[in-house]
Structure 1
């Protein structure tokens, strides 16, 4: 990571007081805070980043503070929030004319999507970042960003099993960095580590180890790249069935992986350790690391699924307009349901009234017929007509007339 980005990424205790003083502007605050955040200090740093965003007057300052928050969430392993803040920063890029920050935001998103396994989306942001980086005037900054973006393209080609193309991008990245650049040691080490991975896949173990050793020589402290280097060296020994050396390097890799937030590193290391115990015949320990691998795999898959089904283009917080639209929709649904119920009740009551009216008409007609006939038998029967159909009434009336005209 570059010096200039570190200056932005880690703003702590002094940031808010400095912003309160008029003689300091946003960039001066960033320049005065270049110390790396301890994991325990991330919550405090996030509050500082939020404060910077609230006080930011220019779109560029908002982009910087959003990217700061995104990087901090990345450091804490909260990839969903990291991507949301990164996407929000990206949504403001059309309001600024700064090629460096346009390329930095795109590069950040390319890296995040690659880490969660969304390679096509990662490629999209990588290409956007490269287009922006071409307009950077500072030669050193331009080389650094293009080197990092070339690494992202190499990762994409590896995923496609296009190893020769991946090697070309890594060689390109080393040219952009400058192979002896002391300010980008970790970035250069990452390029050599990627080359080590490529040659391991191609089963050229000698070339693979040479590149891992170059990467190791550049790294003096624990980091994810060093964990991948040790895992690669352990992987070579596994292929060679050199169990003693394999255990040595894999233990080193595990020590870094267990304290890392990188699911990619955990998955790679636990997979190799499982293979080690399978190879040495220790089924119990092999099962333990198989479970650890599955847990890391599930965590990564769950993150991917969540990001796929929820579009990252949406802002972190819903706007008031969207909230109002949602309320209107819900209200409309409730009103329509209530109206439907009311209509059903209305028709049911109307139907009952029509039936009652029809019965009253029948009763009236029967009473009139009974009064004309003046026969006790018919009057007696009339009391039962309320439950008789019209057809039955007609039949009985016809029989009565026949009895009168044809006495026995």
Structure 2
């Protein structure tokens, strides 16, 4: 086992950014410690070897807080006092994102986009959010306080023409609070769709869609879940918190009927489009995943859940009381996962595997299979 630091980061070494709290820990040790924490937290079950990530160049999304001045903007994070720390060359980001940063900085200057100053609550430009696809295409979201600067942005978008952008949109977030985006999204260029080609499936992302920030590890997560689902070979399957349909559409390739539920209409539209392009027997519905009807004969044989960090809450008890025979649970928070498993005593944990979506941090993604006792 190596004892050397596997990723070199000048920002970390200079103490400008310490977000990667475990960067000084050898990566193999990080994985072993992560696995040990999850095994201690969750019920006894069979654990497969953790799926490792590349140590750098793995993040497909950059959420850059903009600070400083029009003439000298910073694109990165904010210090405790609200001043900006420029991280344009962050080694976690995929290379097309890093390559695009100088052009984004030029857009800020040319369009005279005043960075939002948190302490004084003044300014217009809050964030630049850039997402890269496996095909090297990019989607940009510009988070603004108001629509005041939109004419200037449209006028100067040509400074981005050399970038492989398929979508540019503006999100309006007028409130002074720790919320990344607002309700209004305005398409400025492109068709608003970024295709994430994962395991041969072209998942469609629109500006407000969620997708894992580590494409390679997300691909492995989908493959593992699909293998477990194929082994169980359920007659019916339901994907709750389905997003753009990643788990459902992977499982649908076996020819079984699949349905998915997600609260975000934009994500459901994208899942439907992908299903149609695949010719998959899959249906997707906008709704509250926690309130789906699981009663009696309507209960599917297998349910996939991929909730936000808060977990599935009262849905755990409803699953436990239902006729569902198997659950595949993908969690980004082992603490709420442990709570939810305790609320489902009718299911036995069968096996689990950790997927390191977020190297150099304590964050963990884990996939667990549960079977009816």
Question: Given the two structures, how large is their TM-score scaled by the length of structure 2?
Answer: 0.29
Q: Which structure carries more strand by proportion?
A: 2
Find the structure with the greater CA-based Rg. 1
- The structure with higher relative contact order (CA 8 Å, sep 6+) is 2
